[in-house]
Amino acid sequence: MVISFLHSSQLIITIIILQISVPLIQSSPSASSPTVQLPLSTNIDNNSPLTLSVTDFGATGDGIHYDTKAIQSAIDACPSSNTPCHVTFPPGTYLTATIRLKSHVTLNIQENATLLGGTKIEDYPKESSRWYVVLAENASDVGITGGGVVDGQGLKFVVTKNERKNVMVSWNQTGECSGDECRPRLVGFLGCRNVHVWNVRLNEPAYWCLHIVRCVNTSIHDISIYGDFNTPNNDGIDIEDSNNTVITRCNINTGDDAICPKTYTGPLYNLTATDCWIRTKSSAIKFGSASSFDFKGLMFNNITIFESHRGLGFQIRDGGNVSDVTFSNINISTRYYDPSWWGRAEPIYVTTCPRDSKAKEGSISNILFVNITATSENGVFLSGSEHGLLSNLRFINVNLTYGRWTNYTGGLVDYRPGCQGLVNHSSAGIIMEHIEGLEVENVNMRWSDDQAEEWNNPLDFRPSTVDNIYFLNFHSGFKKQ
């Protein structure tokens, strides 16, 4: 039996069952963000660095001739000692194949300077895992800054432009990768320590934009990321198997996922993201879907998500567990886009269904949503799995406003990737499946009264799969016009 709460003009539930053991944070437009201590311990900014200009090594900066050799020569000329070294790009456009950073080197791309990635397969190493315009491997105290641009020329990888979703070039003929995701990323730090990326614009990646892999102590702040809105897989920041990461004051406007923690080969701990603005045709914040290992100790605060396909998302598909995550002071607007993109306008989406019959089921526990405001074309979706329960989810001071303003078809639940795919299901304020422990306090759900028949179900769950849910000051009613 499905329990459905049908509302007339107003539904108020006030049930006091449990004293929630967290301090209540009052919603306030003037609520200030907590002070975040950046984890960077490098001396890049503390000592006067050695400065080398790429033009002194023969770079032309004309955007036509490759400057790869000159740029790499400048990097290699930096001392091997612990002396910080800035490799500077004066105004100009520097066309390049892959360049490799080494320890203690920061690229200083000045205002009106652009580092332009090549578009030919021979511009990149043989191994697809090293297809980056800028690559650092097993380095320490490395970074990018200067106020300029790193540009991947992503639109030159478009085979067919399509407002629904572009068709992209695939370099899978190399045998190094398969499918349609064989394109170079923009910037990659692999196995690095003390990474610092700040005051730089990362534009038009052909694939993922900023990739942090197995790194420790990473600081990313005051950057902008722009990717074509119709291009798939041009993620903003992918944080993979990395610990102690801070992302703050970033503007991310791209087609695919914006901030995306993943676990392939190890766990991911201690990620903080604050004071960011995000727009995407996919998920603004997404855990997974690569999720073979655990995620723990993540915090997202003071973030604006604008007209995205999905707001806060968990796609746990490979057996990893997620725990101790806080989302606070977040303003969300989500809308429908073409269903070829994952997402159905959910402001919050929490799922653990296995990727396939061979995959393990991970769990999600101790997740706090506090001071959240959302205006959305679809409801919250909370869906665990039989052996991957959602537990101890808390919603405190949450305002949800539901309506429809695009012409895309609703009435679908999106379990992708894998699982059940797209499933027909009527719209609901909150859909719940396979949950053990849900606390709802001071939640206000408002509905457009001109679509009352479509929004006829504030809470949708089966008692056989949902247990221990508590409400305190839950309100559901029509939105006043």
d(CA 94, CA 68): 8
Q: What is the pLDDT of residue 9?
A: 38
Q: What is the pLDDT of residues 397-430, one digit of tens each?
A: 999 999 999 999 888 899 999 888 899 988 899 9
Q: What is the pLDDT of residues 110-132, one digit of tens each?
A: 999 999 999 999 999 999 999 99
Q: What values do phi and psi take at 480, rounded to 5?
A: -75, 130
Q: Please say whether the beta carbons of 318 and 374 come within 8 A.
A: no
Tokens of residue 445, six digits: 């759900």
Q: What is the pLDDT of residue 452?
A: 57
State the average pLDDT over residues 9-22: 37
- What mean pLDDT value characterizes the chain? 90
Buried b / exposed e across 428-448, counting CB within 10 Å, b at 16+?
A: bbbbbbbbbbbbbbbbebbbb
d(CA 276, CA 479): 29
Q: What is the pLDDT of residues 229-269, one digit of tens each?
A: 999 999 999 999 999 999 999 999 999 999 999 999 999 99
Write the single-letter amino acid at 366.
N
Q: Please say whether the beta carbons of 108 and 145 come within 8 A.
A: yes
d(CA 102, CA 88): 15
Write the single-letter amino acid at 156.
K
pLDDT above 70 for 12: no
State the average pLDDT over residues 16-37: 36
Q: What angle do CA 424, 425, 430 make, to 5 degrees?
A: 145
Q: What is the pLDDT of residue 180?
A: 81
Q: Which helix (H) or strand (E) holds 72?
A: helix 68-77
Q: How confident is the model at residue 453 (pLDDT cuts 50, 70, 90)?
A: low
pTM to 2 decimal places: 0.90
pLDDT above 80 for 17: no
β-partners of residue 398 are: 372, 443
Q: What is the pLDDT of residue 116?
A: 98
Given the structure tokens 């989302």, which residue do they identify? 327
Q: What is the pLDDT of residue 451?
A: 63
d(CA 66, CA 54): 12
State the average pLDDT over residues 153-158: 97
β-partners of residue 277 are: 251, 304
